[in-house]
Amino acid sequence: MSDSQRRLPAGGRLDRKQKVSFTFDGRPMWGLAGDTLASALLANGVETVARSFKYGRRRGIVGHGSEEPNAIVQLGSGAATVPNLKATQVELYEGLEARSVSGWPNLDVDVIALLGVFARFLPPGFYYKTFMAPARLWMTYEHFIRKAAGLGRAPQNPDPDRYDKINRHCDVLVIGGGPAGLAAAREATRQGSRVILVDEQSEMGGSLLSLGGSEADAAQLQWRDQTLAELEASVDVLLLPRSTAFGYYDHNFVGILERLEDHRGLTSPGRPRQRLHRVRARQIIMATGAQERPLVFANNDLPGVMLASSVRTYINRYAVIPGQRLALCTTNDNAYQLALDWQEAGCDIAVIADTRPEAEGVLPRLARERGIDVRTGTAIIEASGRKCVSGALLAPIHAGGKSLTGPATPVECDLIATSGGWSPVVHLSSHTGIRPIWDDEAIGFVPGPHADGPVAVGSAQGIYCPLACVEQARTEGAAAALRAGQGAGESSSPSPDIIAALEEPAQALFLVPHTKTTSRAPSQFVDFQLDVTAAAIELAAREGYESVEHVKRYTALGFGTDQGKLGNINGVAILADTLNQSIADTGTTMFRPAYTPVTFGAMAGGEVGDLFDPERYTAMHRWHSEQGAAWENVGQWKRPWYFPVAGESMEEAVQRECLAVRNSVGILDASTLGKIDIQGPDAAEFLTRVYTNSYLKLAPGKCRYGLMLHEDGMIFDDGVTACLGESHYLMHTTTGGAAGVLGWLELWRQTEWPELQVYFTSVTDHWATATLSGPNARKVLARVCHDVDLSDEAFAFMDWNSATVAGVPARIFRISFTGELSFEVNVPANFGRHVWERLMEAGKEFNITPYGTEAMHVLRAEKGFIIVGQDTDGSMTPDDMGMDWIVGKNKSFSFLGKRSLERSDTRRTNRKQLVGLRTVEPNEVLPEGAQIVNTPDQAVPMAMQGHVTSSYFSPSLGRSIALAVVKGGRNRLGEKVFCPLADGRNVAAVICQTVFYDPDGERQHV
Amino acid sequence: MLQIYCPYCQELREEEEFSPSGEAHIARPRDPESLSDEQWGDYLFFRKNPRGLHREMWHHSAGCRRYFNVERDTVSYVIARSYPIGEDPAGAMVEGHDHE
Amino acid sequence: MSESAEMGQRFAPVLESPLHYVRARHRNPAAAAVTLSERSACILLNLRGSPENEPFRESVRAVLHVELPEVGRSADSELASIYWLGPDEWLAVVDQATLAEPVAALRGAIQGHVSIVDVSSAQSLLAVQGAGVAELLQKASVYDFHPREFGPGRCAQTTFAKATALVRCVGEEHFELIVRRSFIDYVARWIVDACAESGCHISGT
């Protein structure tokens, strides 16, 4: 069928001058600007758009929005391909390529459909029953099921597009731009609120965009235009069309996905494709509308069975007439509007089957006046046709809706539209765990009560009359503004400002009875996407599933990408009926974010690639970079790992750097160490409480190394603290621990010891630190520092001095992490590179060698110095590390962690203790993390004795060295142990002392 | 995503600015050495974890760097109040009251 | 001439402001909705003390000619700007040209339990101006910088991208960002990326 036969000659919100060509499953087609892919497919006469999940049945377009269960497509190909879109939400653009995601090998020949004869072997819970055993075959089954069921294909290459993320704040967030949302937003705006109005469609208006050409409809559309114009002209209003509020989170936080470019093409070079709005709203108005509910009847999944409101939308908004002869089945007055518009479009109406005993409202009367065959107390009980609808079976239905009262009669038609009433869209309002509650009058679940949460307006609250909707929305708009602190709560506009026909009550009908029992009648589908039938729900109930949450999981009702937007309430109603209880007592399942799928790109926003995480640079970063440093990530810091010279491997570079420090002089960028300035009369007392040792007698000009424990007695940081002056200290922390230590100090000062007068200030970023280490360190420093006596007598180990280095005021600490003579030169970071370069020049004669973190690790391991976080893991006490010497047992205050050192577990003698390991084969370098056993000749699992924490090849010793923690290790010096490695070898090693180099520590005291 | 009132900055701030710091009002024993292992273990490891109202400490780590206490419902996440360290609001808070 | 001054002349210390390298590498676009400019040659002081300590307040007033601001506010004089950081913590920014030795001056004037720490090299001070500033701040931070909530004189420490910043409103479309030095390359790259469509001009390049 060509486009022209199904496209009405006039009407619709389309640009008729602009033809848009596209392809569906490779077939070229065209539509008009303003079409969705779904309306264009209908205009092109496409009936089958999918094959069903379980049975491979033909499926057509049912709805016109996010509720669509069948028309799931994949757009484009390659890196930018997008899977799992609903054709009803895809705006048509030139060159669009869409493919159906189901049907294998194609929509017309479907393997699963050929297997349809086996359908009776696919009852609810068929995964559990069929595929659970043997478990190892699940992967095989899953592969087949996925391929056959058609879940779309994820792109294989990096996303070519940019995405954006933005934080928003507002007084009133209105979700939904239909009549209620527009009215609420306008009212809140008039009260002076900052308002955000969001709607998932391309234009604001919601259901108003589906209206026809009647006088009442035209007046409503005019009201929409005026209201929108007023909002657009307001300064503090943000209108977000093409945006879906997909998640409602705690304290009125809402995630909104704005599709900026999706309607223009597959990629959007140079412009962000989508934007994630993270909205914090003082007040939220849910104007999310209501979803029309289809009636459940036999063969109701045939292509050509659609929602009444959707057919009306296709006629009025897209000027597409999806059939020639309509049979309408309704439980309410509202659907009559479709019949009137259909007739207006010049097409035939076979019948209106109204399930109610009588229909005397304004719209039914009008329909009869126009000569339409209206039959009350009648329902469509079955659709007939092979590939699509060719007729319907009508039967008289009992007023209670549970049984038929006479025989069925056929009627000819090619389109069946049904309306089972409306289900308020309660998804968002239940995202934080508030269960929706059943409302008999609205015949639907309405949002449950929120303490300070959103207010629902209009049909989202079960108010279906447009007049009442707007009226209530205006009142709530003003009330929300008042709660947000604006206006006086009085709504501003006169009432009424919209016109609409009044409607008679609807009937609560969900499953239409058939002449046969549900289990024997042709399939009556509840959830199209996952092929859940009324019979399956009845079976689940008979098998003992009574909770709606269990039935959901057993039958897969509502598990599809449409989250059961069409099927859930019908499913609940059928379950309630089977269990012979009310829908209110049965309840509904919960909904979780996201309302519709959200791309990962939008969640990541611009924070990808080198903006994924902050990189922190020292003042000398560029110098290192220019020297070709290899980098190590330490927390967020980039630190030089080693400095390879031309052609050098890492191993060679590290050896060279280590030997330079041992034999002449090296220079290390130590700027990343945490530095905290501590001032106050109680500073020394405070330090003595948080470190294991005492600082009460640390004199100005002196430094002291300390261990910090958590209250459980375990080491969590270490570092050198210098006394800068009276009541003034500088604490050094580990690079990764800086923020945590500052928080820890503040915690104790602010909460437990507020009486202690002491202040902490982070100065990590203020100072750049160049560490000179090696026998020639003093000679180098002496060339750029003339105002301090650097001799060992005047400037001893663990002293510090103020000095001028290369013309810059500096603090020099004589502390050492390599065991060599060392000076740590600290200057304000703004002069960091200057001083570094002057030190390099001064050291030229001694072949000064910049060294990185790897050489630093080797050098300190040769000396048995621990690295907190490498040799400790949060379960190590000072004694475990052999550092009992630093624990002040006689301090008057019970320092943090002290009591825990006396617990029976921390006093055990067989705790893992730090020891050295020498491999029997000197060139064998154990992998860090290797487990240690007494003998490999034992059954698996072996009795573990500990593990290797640090392991290197020591250039100075010409052999491998390792630090390890071993159970009772200090009493096992000289014992041979084994490390079973992943490659199957067992490496023998001998337990030894932790200090491998210069055991008496003479080299740092020269 | 919570929104937390910082009693020092005197305004509502986003959760991203804060770090949780566990149960509030756990005083360090005055004389740890006098406690049995069990008593010390209670102080170290045992927390209430109630269903319902809970007093907990938060750190405004990306803001004013102050610690303070919050009274939060662990079911609804509603925050009844924020108050500075050292205050113990006299309100009749029944910890972990039943929600049913 | 003192020995240190002599050394200073001999070595002619080269100052590199935190934004130094970003400025050197960035290419300014033809049009820009956001302009970044770094203020250098400032002395930054972290001040800690009780707000009830009247002599402390008085000496700040006397030396810097400005009152310690209240919660969430900043204050200016011809010598200095002071920002509220916490209930007992402020940041003072002093123009080196107007007051060369503020630490000594304050230390000399202040009695009692206070802390004054020079953090001049620890932060980058950026003026951020232009029509795109409001959107940039919304992208970067969870804080609400709407003029109704955050007018001139307000300041707040909050998140900025995945780092943190002290933000001050100077005037319409004019804010000040104070960012830790080690994060400034990241923050500047982040800003340039966030302004990809509207353009970001970094002055001094």
Distance from CA of C204 to the nearest CA of B (A): 30
What's the pLDDT score for residue A62?
Answer: 97
Shortest CA distance to C46 belongs to which of C103, C95, C101? C103
Instruction: Delineate the domains of chain B, giving CATH numbers in brackets.
Output: 3-26+40-84 (3.30.2270.10)
Instruction: Spell out which chain C residues touch chain B, with contact meaning CB-CB distance below 8 angstroms.
Output: 71-72, 85-87, 89, 142-143, 156-159, 164
Tally of CB atoms within 10 A around C111: 10
Question: End-to-end distance of chain B based on CA atoms, in angstroms?
Answer: 24
Tell me if C4 is assigned to some domain: no
Residues of A in contact with C4 (CB under 8 A): 787, 804, 807, 809
B83, β-bridge pairs? B69
Provide mean pLDDT across the span A539-566.
87
Q: pLDDT grade, residue A344 (50/70/90)?
A: very high
Residue C188 is assigned to a structural domain of this protein: yes
List pLDDT tens digits, range A871-913. Answer: 999 999 999 999 999 999 888 999 999 999 999 999 999 999 9
Residue where the block lists tokens 């609120």: A193
* Position A861 confidence tier, pLDDT thresholds 50, 70, 90: very high
The 10s digit of each residue's pLDDT in A146-157 is 554 556 788 888
**Interface touch C119/A763, C-beta < 8 Å:** yes
Share of chain A above pLDDT 70, in %: 94
Cα A438 off chain centre by: 31
What does the pLDDT read at residue A114?
Answer: 57
- Give the mean model confidence (pLDDT) for residues A393-403: 96
Residues A813, A822 contacting (CB under 8 angstroms): no
Residues of chain A contacting B31 with CB distance shorter than 8 Å: 894
A274, A276, A611, A760, best to mutate vs chain C, most C CBs in 10 Å: A611
- The H-assigned helical ranges of A370-506 are 466-483
Tell me the mean pLDDT in the region A410-422. 97
Domains in chain C, number: 1
Cβ of A759 and C48 within 8 Å?
A: yes
Nearest CA distance, B73 vs chain C (angstrom): 24
**Which one of A280, A622, A829 has the shortest CB-CB distance to C181?**
A829
**What confidence score (pLDDT) does residue A890 get?**
87
**Which chain B residues contact residue C156 at CB under 8 A?**
9, 63
> Which pLDDT does position C136 carry in this prediction?
98
Q: Do A751 and B85 touch (CB under 8 A)?
A: yes
Q: From the CA of A902, how many Å to the nearest CA of chain B?
A: 8
Q: Is residue C38 part of a domain?
A: yes
C113 domain residue, yes or no:
yes
pLDDT given at position A2: 45
CB contact under 8 A, A164 and C144: no
Band the pLDDT of A556: cuts 50, 70, 90: confident
CATH number of the CATH domain containing C196: 3.30.1360.120
Residue C11 lies in a domain: no
Which of the residues A168, A170, A249, A251 would you substitute to probe the B interface, choosing the one with the greatest number of B C-beta atoms within 10 Å? A251
Quick check: A130 pLDDT over 70?
no
Q: Which residues contact C8 (CB under 8 A, 6 or more apart)?
A: A804, A807, A808
Inspect the interface and report whether the beta carbons of B11 and C72 lie closer than 8 Å. yes
Using the structure block, give the residue that is written with the tokens 């009367």. A365
Q: In this predicted structure, what is the pLDDT of residue A672? A: 98
Distance CA A995, CA A985 (A): 27
Task: Return the SS3 of A770.
Answer: strand
Percent of chain A with pLDDT over 90: 85
| Residue A79 confidence (pLDDT) | 85
Contact A830 C21 (CB under 8 A): no
Q: Is the dihedral of CA A379, A382, A386, A387 positive or negative?
A: positive
pLDDT band at B98 (very low <50, low <70, confident <90, very high): very low
Give per-residue pLDDT as tens, C177-203. Answer: 999 999 999 999 999 999 999 999 999
The pLDDT tens digits for B5-45 are: 999 999 999 999 999 999 999 999 999 999 999 999 999 99
Contact of C14 with A833, CB cutoff 8 Å: yes
- pLDDT score at A540: 93
Neighbours of chain A (3+ CB pairs under 8 A): B, C
Residue A330 has pLDDT above 80, yes or no: yes
Q: What band does A546 get if pLDDT is binned at 50, 70 and 90?
A: confident
Neighbours of chain C (3+ CB pairs under 8 A): A, B
Each residue of A481-490: pLDDT tens digit? 999 999 988 8
Residue A493 has pLDDT above 70, yes or no: no
* Strand-strand pairing, A237-240 and A195-198: parallel
Would residue C6 count as lying in a domain? no
> pLDDT higher for C169 or A592?
C169
Closest CB from B10, B16, B62 relative to C72? B10
pLDDT value for A488: 86
Mean per-residue pLDDT of chain C: 92
Contacts with C17 from chain A: Cβ below 8 Å: 830
C205 min Cα distance to partner chain B (Å): 31
CB contact under 8 A, C13 and A804: no
- Tens of pLDDT, residue by residue over A65-124, are 999 999 999 999 888 899 889 999 999 999 999 999 876 667 776 665 655 544 555 566
Residue C12 falls inside a structural domain: no
Instruction: Write the residue in C71, C85, C159 that is nearest to B10 by C-beta.
Output: C71
Q: Is the pLDDT of residue A570 over 90?
A: yes
pLDDT at position A154 is: 83
Residue A39 has pLDDT above 90, yes or no: yes
- A639/C contact by beta carbon, under 8 A: no
- What's the pLDDT score for residue C7? 53
Q: Residue A418 pairs with which residues in a beta bridge?
A: A307, A329
Instruction: Give contacts of C164 with chain B, Cβ < 8 Å.
Output: 62
Q: How many residues does chain A have?
A: 1006
Domains of chain A (ranges; CATH) run: 3-123+134-149 (3.10.20.440), 163-290+424-483 (3.50.50.60), 308-420 (3.50.50.60), 516-596 (1.10.10.1100), 629-671+766-859 (3.30.1360.120), 674-762 (3.30.70.1400), 909-1006 (2.40.30.110)
Q: Strand, helix or coil at A920? A: coil
Q: Do A766 and C189 touch (CB under 8 A)?
A: no
Contacts A746 to B, Cβ<8 Å: 59, 65-67
Give per-residue pLDDT as tens, A161-220. Answer: 999 999 999 999 999 999 999 999 999 999 999 999 999 999 999 999 999 988 889 999
The complex scores an ipTM of 0.96
pLDDT tier at A1 (50, 70, 90 boundaries)? very low
In a domain, residue C5? The reply is no
Minimal Cβ distance to A766: which of C8, C120, C141: C120
The residue of C85, C142, C162 whose CB has the most chain B CBs within 10 angstroms, and thus the best one to mutate to test that interface, is C142
Q: What is the DSSP letter of B34?
A: G
* Distances from the Cα of A129 to the Cα of A134, A143, A534, A987, angstroms: 11, 18, 20, 50
pLDDT at residue A4, rounded to an integer: 58
Name the DSSP class of C101.
Answer: -
Asked whether C132 and C141 are in contact (CB, 8 A), the reply is: no
Out of A452, A739, A747, closest to residue B67 by CB:
A747
Residue in chain B closest to C70 (alpha carbons) equals: B9
In Å, how far is C148's CA from the nearest CA of chain A? Answer: 10
Please report the pLDDT score of residue C1 as a whole number: 41
CA angle C92, C95, C100 (to 5 degrees): 100
- Other C-beta atoms within 10 Å of A357: how many? 11
Interface of A with C in 248-287 (CB under 8 A): 270-272, 278, 280
Lowest-confidence segment of A410-424, A427-441, A613-627, A954-968 by average pLDDT: A427-441
The pLDDT of residue A88: 97
Give residue A578's pLDDT.
95
* Record: contact A615-C186, CB cut-off 8 A: yes
Which residue range is the domain that position C141 belongs to?
Answer: 17-202
Residue pair C4/C169 in contact by the 8 Å Cβ criterion: no
Q: Are A546 and A554 spatial neighbours (Cβ–Cβ below 8 Å)?
A: no
Strand partners, A481: none
